Amino acid sequence: MAIKYWEFEDAPMKEKLKNLNVKEIAKLFFDNETEAYRFGLLLYETKKRGSLRLRDIGKKMPVSTAKRYLDYAVQLGLLKHEGSAYMPTDRFTRPFRNIATYIKSWMESQTEEDLEVQFPIARKTDKAAIAKEEKMAESAVAPAPPAQ
């Protein structure tokens, strides 16, 4: 995801709402122009038709590619997949708002956290990497034995 928060603050958002387009949505999820185009094309086709089946994609892109992007839109909550058709839905808005609320609440909380308990595997790997770096640093900086 490539959310540039400053583009969605009050003033810029008012301007965005004057000129709605699928590119703004696609660019949230893909930095790559081609990926954003494919995603935007499928979202637009789904919106325009009301529902989209893979067989309706035609020659716009390979079916396997379209399926991958459509399934991603389902995971995000922008589309739903019922039967063999993809349809617009709005499962996205409330969870996204809730994520923002959760992050804001966490930032404001004063709770002490033990990250080694929350991320035990990552921390174990990190400790091993740090030990390896220290060992390499010691061997590289070790003074030469005095000459006799």
Residue 58 lies in a domain: yes
- Segment 118-135 shows an average pLDDT of 73
Do residues 38 and 68 lie in contact, with contact meaning Cβ atoms separated by under 8 Å? Answer: no
Residue 47 lies in a domain: yes
Name which residue leads in pLDDT, 128 or 112.
112
Domain of 57?
Answer: 5-92
Residue 36 lies in a domain: yes
Residue 133 lies in a domain: no
Cα gap 65→63, rounded to integer Å: 5
Residue 79 lies in a domain: yes
Cα gap 64→54, rounded to integer Å: 9
Residue 56 lies in a domain: yes
The count of domains in the chain is 1
Specify the CATH number for the domain of residue 47. Answer: 1.10.10.10
Share of the chain above pLDDT 90, in %: 34
Name which residue leads in pLDDT, 2 or 69.
69
The C-alpha R_g of the chain, in whole angstroms, comes to 24
Residue 88 lies in a domain: yes
